[in-house]
Structure formats: structure tokens, C-alpha cells
Structure 1
Amino acid sequence: MTNSKDIDPTLPVQGQLEAYNARDIDAFMQWWAEDCQYFAFPSTLLAEGTAAIRARHIERFKEPDLHGHLLSRIALDNLVIDHETVTRTFPEGAGEVDVVCIYEVSGGKITKAWFKMGQPRLHLATN
């Protein structure tokens, strides 16, 4: 029998990142616990439960340039901390933003996540 403490906490974090980049909402949601919480760092609750997180990401996945590029990852016990550069389509245009993502994992699912966003950098238009 596998103990939940034996489950590699990076597995669901990597799985949701791959699904995010594929813009596959069903694959993305399989990694989130039913009662998960999604925060802007440090404590602003943005979404609670899978229905709210799904709705948030259905909209995000419509962005044509969406892609999270993992720069580094640290795992300690049940916490996984990723540093990413995320390409987005902002209201002002295409660009990228640095993000620190902190995930709490239990039983192979993400139970809580915190996101600290840097300042967006718009891509220069080429004519």
C-alpha cells in the first residue's frame, strides 16, 4: 500500500504545468484537490474549490500565447516552489511575467497554491 507521504509532491505540480501549457482543462484539473485554494501571495483568496479554479483557467486557456516556462523548482516535504516565466496575452498586448508559485501537495493533489507575480514585460511590436 502506498502512503501519501511516499507520493512525490513534484508529480502533480509538473502534471498541472504540462496541462497548463497544453491548455487542457481536464488534464489540468485532475491535479487539484476538490477543496483546493488558490491565492495571490500572501493571502488573497482568488478561487476556492475545483469549480472556481476550472472557471478561472477556462478563460486563461483562451489566450493564444499562453505558456509557462519553468526556470527552477525546489521541493521540501509537501511544498513545491516553482520560478516560472509565463507568456501571456495582456490587455495591452503579448508579453511575459515572472511568477513564483508555491504549491502545497497532499495525497498526490494540489491542496493550496500561492502565486507572486512580477511586473509584466510587453513584447515589442515588430513592423
Structure 2
Amino acid sequence: MTTSPDLAPLDIVKAMTDAMAIKDYDAALPWFTDDCEYTNMPMGTVTGPAGVRSVLEPFFAPTTANEFIVLRAAVQGNIVFTERLDRHLIETGWVELPVTGVFEIRDGKIAVWRDYFDLGTIVRQWPALAALAG
């Protein structure tokens, strides 16, 4: 997948989450700037595409399907706000997590990604995840 500075900010976010949903890191990671900051608010911040991968690859490893359902979105300039329902299929069934994401787009790529969610909501459904959360 080729990134494009001509895409609308929301389309950039959707392209990345579509690739991430199928665990296509080679397609998802080019959507991030080299110095991007990715923060899962309950868990911490990583920097750069390698940092994003270091968080998401182990998270997605036990999943057999993933969905990022955008319920609502708002765009103001280069900032994208999403209200999502993230769904992950694991051995015991679907795990559903309401998430609010904030993305800052710079030169056609994601420079900042912050996800806000309740850690307890996901750990109750996916107890093995507690080890990854620290």
C-alpha cells in the first residue's frame, strides 16, 4: 500500500486501521511518520513505526479476526477524532472495546495516535491480556 499526502485525514486513518485489522503490518506501518507517537492512555506511549508494531503485534497475535468499527468521526483540519468499537476474535469469542481515538496527520501520515479506553473493560473479556498490559 502506498501512502498519499493527497488523501483526506479520515481516509488516512481508515487505511491504516483497515490494514491493521488484517494484521498487515507492512501496509499499516508506512501510514506513520518516523517520529510518530502512539499512546494507549491506560498503558503508555511508544515512538515510531517500530514502537507501534511492538505494542500491536503481540496484542493482535492471538486474534483470528479484528474489526475497527467507526461509529462517529469528526475532522478539524489535520486532527481526526473517532468513536470506535474495536472487536477482536479470540479463542473464547469476540472481545468488544469502546475506544475514542485522536489522530494528528502530518504530510499524509499519522504523527500522533492516542487511544482512550477503559483497560478493565478489555481485561474482563480477555484475561490473558492483563500480562501484556503490565
TM-score of the superposed pair, with normalisation by structure 1: 0.78
CA–CA separation in structure 2 for the residues paired with 1:111 and 1:9:
11
Task: State the aligned residue count.
Answer: 118
C-alpha RMSD of matched pairs (Å): 2.7
Determine if the alignment matches structure 1 residue 109 to structure 2 residue 86.
Answer: no
Distance 1:15 1:7, change over 3 A: closer
How far residue 93 of structure 1 moved from its aligned partner, in angstroms, is: 6.4
What is the CA deviation profile of residues 27-58 of structure 1, one whole-angstrom value per residue up to 9, with x for unaligned ones?
1101100100011339x642111111122222
Identity among equivalent positions (%) equals: 23
Determine if the alignment matches structure 1 residue 59 to structure 2 residue 63.
Answer: no
CA–CA separation in structure 2 for the residues paired with 1:41 and 1:58:
18
Q: Secondary structure at the match of 2:100?
A: strand
Higher helix share: 2
Asked if the contact 1:85/1:96 (under 8 Å) is kept, the reply is yes
TM-score of the superposed pair, with normalisation by structure 2: 0.74
- Indicate the structure (1 or 2) with the bigger Cα radius of gyration: 1
2:105 maps to a residue whose letter is: V
Structure 1 residue ranges, 4+ long, deviating more than 4 angstroms after superposition: none
CA–CA separation in structure 1 for the residues paired with 2:12 and 2:34:
14
